[in-house]
């Protein structure tokens, strides 16, 4: 059941992975949300293998949805390169930002990030010295400039091929729950914004029907 | 016959010797011809006879020149120029006539003074246009102003021929000579005369517009080149005859025909076919002007003739400066404009002759005037030179050149040779990128169809030097070769490398061996015709087989890059050692396979370990 206070949100998942044939976790996450009502998956590398991004199409997709999720592996403490190209081209002045622009206003912005290093390495005293939230601050700033509502990342950390199948499955389940929660408005946005990672404790922020 | 050939030989030899020397000295070809004329003329080596006859015949070069000028002027452009033609031209002719007539009034009765005035208001189309073209000034803004005035003068000859007989004061015996060998339209009543004239002009329009193209298409289909040349000449000569018959200027008629045909695909072919005839005739015409300088008379009346020449140039120059001023020309433009047109013209010879036979002017008045005109024509190229040296200065010419660029609008930066299937897409691509190539193709039917689609395609054999020239190889920046026949392509490349070394060349090769053949000639930008589409199809096939789209794309790019990289080495092998070539080719293919496998199977397991190694529990 949907929360009557919130209308149903349409969710756009920008899937950003260069080689699905070599992906484990991102494929699983994707499979978990594929076919959901009100959820559109847009595979950037598959659609634009030559990086020739169709700006108009992308802008229209954004306009048609209420929440934009960038799902990607962490590559060099950042995103795979096509996502940078996407931001550079699609977020045009006058459309995404600037005094006249209001087309992205109020839409949710969130990253679903998978990474090799686990949580303990993403700390000031950890091996990678910076927290994930610090590392993705450019995207947070981007969301703010575009008047979007930024949410902490859905993070799946410490990923490697040796992980037991159940654990991976579980991440898929969480992802699905989060996406549905966002879609149906059962996920408490205000509460979620206080977390480090949106999936720290999904039970706490998703209201039961 | 022998006599004719001997005369011809003398003219041609004189030109062949004098023009290169004149050009080497920086004097331009017109001066070269004129000097050659003086040298072989009656006051030099006295090698030639019948100068007047020769001059009369070769005047036809002017007619051809105007045909060529017309071919370069599309009707729309001509319409744009209507104000300068009528305004500047009209003003120049009117003011010059009045001023020179006024001046002559000091010495001559008014009728004669008026006749002299209007005759001397004309300038020399032949010399001025030839010089402008040689200097590449035709498309500059002073060039266009000058041309406009010349065009108006050509038009003005018609009413002048009508008015001059009215000024007759000298009783003449009617020698029964009339304008035409066909029929004499002056015997017709006035309204019929106008009707016939209008009919003649509209027939040129209709001929050019509707009959011209099908006719040339049929002729082109025979692929016998001489026939095309013959048809082109017949067209020009025929129109001249028609114009003469109705009492209009033949130059004007062919000019109109040229304008009408300027939009057709046969434009460049016509241009390159007529050009050599025009060149020769004009050359000989200039020689005969040089030869006709009557030095005995000049010697006897040196003061009078020098005075007349100076007065002629001075008065015309003054009028031109005023005209330029009134039309708000920039200073540099005005000075070129005034220098360029301050001479008498070849029409003066014709009109003086006409005035004498009509009893307007007596021979003793005409003789010194003709000499003065000839001298002013002789001085014209020198004035151009002086202008370049002293007035325009080293930067002046440059300014004018730069203007030309903007007018041309980079329109003809690219020549596209061959417009088959590949050329069509290439042409579409370039046009969409804002680059309009001059397209040449040898298949008349093909040209026709593509024209219907709105391409600017011209018919012709691109391996002909004159056609390349007509297509603007001089100013173009790039030649793209997409002709299928590889020997023909090589021929073209060699021709271009020899005559237009500045042209960059990009070429299509049907296959590897065609590519090697082009590499023999030092071409580096080569694309193999089917290579690109083979790889694209390969990319799509990989996708259908489930390979990641981005992966498939990268594999294509890698293959292409490596393949292109090994071309030079394979080429070297191919040329040096046929046997080794094959094994080399195979080895390269194996290397490539390996490389691509590597790209695809980067070891994911190891990679995972690397990124997770620092996780505490690992
Ligand atoms: C080019 C590249 C760069 C990477 N950079 C990082 C990194 O900066 N930090 C990190 O924790 N893991 C990094 N990793 C590991 C990936 O994040 C990890 O393999 C991925 O999230 C697994 O998702 P997948 O199975 O869907 O490919 C990198 C992996 C690759 C291939």
pLDDT digits (tens, 9 = 90+) for B413-434: 899 998 888 888 888 888 888 8
Q: Using an 8 Å Cβ cutoff, are A40 and A11 in contact?
A: yes
Mean pLDDT value across residues B383-388: 87
Encoded tokens for B294: 């009557």
At B70-88, the pLDDT tens digits run: 887 778 777 888 888 899 9
**What separation in Å is there between the alpha carbon of A16 and the centre of ligand 1?**
12
CATH of the domain at B426: 3.40.50.720
Q: How confident is the model at residue B223 (pLDDT cuts 50, 70, 90)?
A: confident
The reply to whether B523 and B545 lie within a common domain is no
Q: What is the mean predicted confidence (pLDDT) over B389-393?
A: 71
- Structural domain containing residue B583: 541-618
Ligand 1 nearest atom to the CA of residue A26, by list position: 26
Q: B604, A161: Cβ pair inside 8 Å?
A: yes
Q: Does A22 touch chain B (CB under 8 A)?
A: yes
ipTM: 0.87
Residue B543 has pLDDT above 90, yes or no: yes
pLDDT band at B458 (very low <50, low <70, confident <90, very high): confident
Q: Is residue A102 part of a domain?
A: yes
- Whether the predicted pLDDT of B182 surpasses 60: no
Region B131-143: mean pLDDT is 82
d(CA A48, nearest CA chain B) in Å: 8
pTM of the model: 0.61
- From the list A45, A50, A116, the residue facing B611 with the nearest CB is A116
| Beta-bridge partner residues of B347 | none
Q: Is residue A39 part of a domain?
A: yes
Residue B184, in any domain of the structure: no
Whether residues B392 and B505 share a domain: the answer is: no
CA A31–ligand 1 middle distance (angstroms) = 19
For the stretch B298-343, pLDDT in tens is 888 889 999 999 999 999 999 999 999 999 888 888 899 999 999 9
In this structure, of A30-34, A200-204, B133-137, B598-602, the range with the lowest mean pLDDT score is B598-602
Q: Are residues B553 and B590 in the same domain?
A: yes
Percent of chain B scoring above 90 in pLDDT: 22
The C-alpha torsion from B261 through B267 and B272 to B276, rounded to 10°, is 10
3-class state of residue A70 by DSSP: strand
Alpha-carbon B522 to chain mean position: 30
CATH number, position B219: 1.20.1530.20
Query: How many other CB atoms sit within 10 Å of the CB of residue B159?
Result: 10
Query: What total number of domains does chain A contain?
Result: 1
Residue B550 sits at the chain A interface (C-beta within 8 Å): yes
- pLDDT interval class at B188 (50, 70, 90): low
Tens digit of each residue's pLDDT (9 = 90 or more) over A162-209: 889 999 999 999 999 999 999 999 999 999 999 999 999 899 999 876
Q: What would the two tokens of residue A54 be?
A: 């169709």
Mean pLDDT of B586-599: 80
Determine contact: A20 vs chain B, CB below 8 A: yes
Is residue B398 pLDDT above 50, yes or no?
no
Same domain, B430 and B326: no
d(CA B481, CA B494): 12
d(CA B24, CA A179): 84
CB contact under 8 A, A21 and B547: yes
- Work out how many domains chain B is built from and give that number: 3
Q: pLDDT band at residue B171, thresholds of 50, 70 and 90?
A: low
Query: A38 — contact with chain B (CB < 8 Å)?
Result: no
pLDDT the model gives residue A30: 97
CA distance A36 to chain B (A): 23
Residues B553 and B514 in one domain: no
Question: Looking at the domain assignment, is residue B310 inside a domain?
Answer: yes
Both B115 and B146 in one domain: the answer is: yes
pLDDT at A2: 43
Residue B553 in contact with partner chain A when CB distance is under 8 A? yes
Q: What is the pLDDT of residue B393?
A: 57
- What CATH number does residue A155 fall under? 3.40.50.360
Q: Please tell me which residue, B62 or A7, carries the higher pLDDT value.
A: B62
Binary contact (B615, A45; C-beta < 8 A): no
What average pLDDT does the structure give for chain B? Answer: 83
Instruction: Tell me: pLDDT of B457 over 90.
Output: no
Q: Is residue B6 included in any domain, yes or no?
A: yes
Reported as a pLDDT band with limits 50, 70 and 90, residue B618 is low
In a domain, B181, yes or no: no
Burial (0-12, 13-18, 19+ Cβ within 10 Å), B603: exposed
> How would you list the strands of the sheet with B438-441, edge to edge?
B457-459, B438-441, B414-417, B478-481, B504-509, B525-528
DSSP string, A113-132: EE-SS-GGGSSTTSTT-S-H
**Same-domain status, B392 and B280:** yes
Least confident of A73-82, B404-413, B510-519: B404-413
Q: What is the pLDDT of residue B411?
A: 60
**Residue of B550, B604, B612 lying closest to A18 (CB–CB):** B550
CA–CA dist B285, B279 (Å, integer): 10
Three-state DSSP at B365 gives helix
Q: How many CA atoms lie within 13 A of B591 on its CB side?
A: 11
Tokens matching residue B473: 């190889």
Instruction: Work out the number of other CB atoms within 10 angstroms of the CB of residue B404.
Output: 16
- Domain assignment present for B564: yes
Domain boundary among B498, B529, B560: B529
Average pLDDT of span B558-583: 85
> Is B218 within the bounds of a domain?
yes
Ligand 1 near A104 CB (within 6 A):
no
Least confident of B436-445, B534-543, B592-601: B592-601
Number of CB atoms found within 10 A of residue B504's CB: 14
> Which residue numbers in chain A have pLDDT < 70?
1-7, 209
User: DSSP of B204-230, one letter per residue?
Assistant: HHHIIIIIHHHHHHHHHHHT-HHHHHH
Indicate the pLDDT class of residue B408, thresholds 50, 70 and 90: very low
**Any CB–CB contact under 8 A between A98 and chain B?**
no
Q: Is the dihedral of CA B176, B178, B182, B186 positive or negative?
A: negative
Task: Return phi, psi of residue B489, to 5°.
Answer: -60, -45
- Residue range of the domain that includes A153: 11-205
Three-state DSSP state, A69: strand
Q: Select from A19, A117, A162 the Cβ nearest to the Cβ of B550.
A: A19
Who's near B553: CB < 8 A, 6+ residues apart? A49, A50, B539
Is the domain of B394 the same as that of B416?
Answer: no
Quick check: A158 and B612 CB within 8 A? yes
- Separation CA A171–CA A41 (nearest Å): 18
Q: Is residue A2 part of a domain?
A: no
Chain A residues lying within 8 Å of B554, measured CB to CB = 49
Q: Quick one: B378 and B422 in the same domain? A: no
Q: Do A18 and B605 touch (CB under 8 A)?
A: no
Q: Say whether both B234 and B290 belong to one domain.
A: yes
CA–CA gap between residue B112 and residue B103 (Å, rounded) = 12
Our CA-based measurement puts residue A187 at a distance from the nearest CA of chain B, in whole angstroms, of 31
Q: Is residue A4 part of a domain?
A: no
> Does residue B56 or residue A141 have the better pLDDT?
A141
pLDDT digits (tens, 9 = 90+) for B465-480: 888 888 888 889 999 9
A125 in a structural domain: yes
State percent of chain B over pLDDT 70.
Answer: 92
Please give the average per-residue pLDDT across B212-238, as a whole number. 85
* DSSP-assigned letter for residue B208: I
Same domain? For B197 and B262 the reply is: yes
Q: End of a domain among B469, B498, B529?
A: B529
Domain-embedded: residue A88: yes
Question: Residue B179 and residue B171: Cα distance in Å, rounded?
Answer: 20
Lowest pLDDT segment from A74-83, B229-238, B240-249, B312-321: B240-249
A1 within some domain: no
Q: Is residue A164 part of a domain?
A: yes
Please report which helix (H) or strand (E) contains residue B17, including its range.
helix B2-24
**B441 CA to centre of own chain:** 19
Identify the closest residue of chain B to A158 by CA–CA distance.
Answer: B612
pLDDT: which is higher, B109 or A102? B109
B388 and B499 co-located in one domain: no
């Amino acid at each position: 059941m949907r929360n009557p206070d919130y209308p149903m949100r349409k969710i756009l998942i920008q899937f950003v992975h260069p080689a699905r044939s070599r992906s484990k976790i991102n494929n699983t996450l994707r499979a978990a949300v594929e076919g959901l009502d009100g959820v559109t998956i847009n595979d950037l590398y598959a659609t634009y293998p030559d990086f020739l991004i169709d700006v108009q199409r992308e802008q229209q997709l954004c306009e048609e949805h209420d929440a934009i999720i960038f799902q990607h592996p962490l590559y060099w403490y950042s995103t795979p390169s096509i996502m940078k190209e996407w931001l550079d081209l699609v977020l045009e002045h006058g459309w995404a930002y600037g005094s006249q622009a209001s087309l992205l206003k109020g839409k949710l912005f969130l990253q679903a990030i998978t990474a090799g290093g686990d949580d303990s390495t993403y700390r000031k005293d950890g091996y990678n010295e910076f927290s994930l939230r610090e590392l993705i601050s450019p995207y947070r700033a981007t969301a703010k400039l575009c008047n979007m509502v930024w949410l902490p990342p859905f993070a799946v950390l410490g990923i490697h091929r040796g992980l037991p199948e159940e654990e991976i499955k579980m991440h898929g389940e969480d992802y699905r729950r989060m996406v549905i929660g966002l879609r149906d408005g059962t996920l408490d946005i205000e509460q979620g914004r206080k977390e480090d990672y949106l999936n720290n404790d999904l039970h706490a922020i998703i209201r039961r029907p | 016959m022998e006599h004719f050939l001997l005369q011809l030989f003398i003219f041609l030899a004189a030109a062949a010797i004098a023009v290169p020397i004149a050009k080497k000295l920086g004097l331009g070809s017109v001066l070269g011809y004129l000097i050659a004329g003086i040298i072989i003329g009656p006051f030099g080596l006295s090698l030639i006879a019948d100068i007047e006859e020769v001059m009369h015949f070769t005047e036809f070069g002017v007619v051809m020149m105007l045909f060529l000028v017309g071919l370069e002027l599309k009707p729309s452009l001509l319409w744009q120029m209507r104000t300068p033609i009528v305004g500047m031209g009209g003003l120049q002719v009117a003011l010059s006539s009045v001023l020179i007539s006024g001046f002559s009034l000091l010495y001559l009765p008014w009728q004669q003074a008026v006749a002299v005035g209007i005759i001397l208001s004309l300038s020399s189309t032949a010399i001025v246009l030839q010089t402008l073209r040689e200097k590449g000034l035709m498309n500059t803004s002073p060039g266009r102003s000058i041309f406009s005035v010349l065009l108006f003068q050509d038009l003005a000859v018609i009413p002048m021929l009508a008015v001059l007989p009215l000024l007759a004061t000298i009783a003449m015996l009617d020698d029964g000579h009339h304008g035409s060998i066909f029929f004499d339209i002056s015997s017709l009543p006035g309204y019929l005369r106008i009707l016939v004239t209008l009919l003649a002009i509209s027939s040129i329009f209709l001929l050019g517009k509707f009959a011209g193209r099908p006719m040339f298409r049929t002729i082109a289909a025979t692929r016998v080149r001489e026939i095309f040349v013959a048809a082109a000449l017949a067209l020009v000569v025929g129109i001249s005859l028609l114009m003469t018959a109705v009492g209009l200027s033949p130059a004007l008629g062919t000019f109109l025909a040229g304008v009408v045909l300027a939009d057709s695909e046969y434009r460049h072919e016509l241009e390159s076919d007529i050009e050599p005839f025009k060149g020769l005739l004009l050359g000989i015409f200039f020689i005969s002007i040089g030869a006709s300088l009557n030095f005995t008379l000049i010697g006897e009346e040196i003061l009078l003739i020098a005075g007349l020449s100076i007065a002629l140039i001075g008065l015309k120059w003054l009028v031109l400066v005023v005209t330029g001023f009134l039309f708000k020309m920039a200073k540099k433009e005005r000075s070129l404009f005034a220098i360029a047109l301050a001479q008498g013209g070849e029409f003066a010879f014709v009109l003086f002759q006409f005035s004498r036979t009509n009893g307007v002017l007596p021979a003793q008045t005409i003789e010194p005037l003709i000499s003065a005109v000839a001298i002013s024509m002789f001085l014209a190229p020198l004035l151009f030179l002086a202008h370049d040296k002293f007035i325009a200065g080293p930067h002046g010419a440059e300014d004018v050149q730069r203007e030309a660029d903007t007018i041309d609008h980079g329109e003809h930066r690219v020549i596209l040779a061959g417009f088959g299937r590949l050329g069509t897409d290439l042409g579409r691509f370039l046009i969409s990128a804002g680059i309009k190539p001059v397209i040449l193709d040898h298949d008349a039917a093909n040209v026709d169809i593509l024209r219907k689609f709105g391409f600017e395609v011209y018919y012709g054999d691109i391996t002909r030097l004159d056609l390349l020239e007509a297509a603007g190889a001089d100013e173009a920046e790039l030649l793209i070769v997409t002709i299928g026949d590889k020997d023909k392509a090589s021929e073209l490349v060699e021709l271009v490398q020899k005559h237009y070394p500045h042209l960059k060349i990009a070429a299509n090769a049907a296959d590897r061996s065609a590519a090697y053949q082009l590499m023999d000639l030092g071409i580096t930008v080569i694309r193999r015709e089917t290579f690109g589409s083979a790889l694209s199809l390969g990319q799509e096939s990989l996708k259908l087989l489930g390979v990641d789209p981005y992966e498939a794309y990268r594999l294509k790019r890698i293959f292409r890059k490596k393949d292109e990289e090994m071309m030079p080495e394979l080429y070297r092998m191919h040329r040096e050692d046929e046997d080794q070539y094959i094994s080399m080719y195979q080895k390269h293919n194996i290397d490539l396979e390996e490389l691509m496998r590597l790209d695809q199977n980067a070891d994911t397991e190891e990679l995972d370990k690397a990124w997770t190694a620092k996780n505490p529990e690992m």
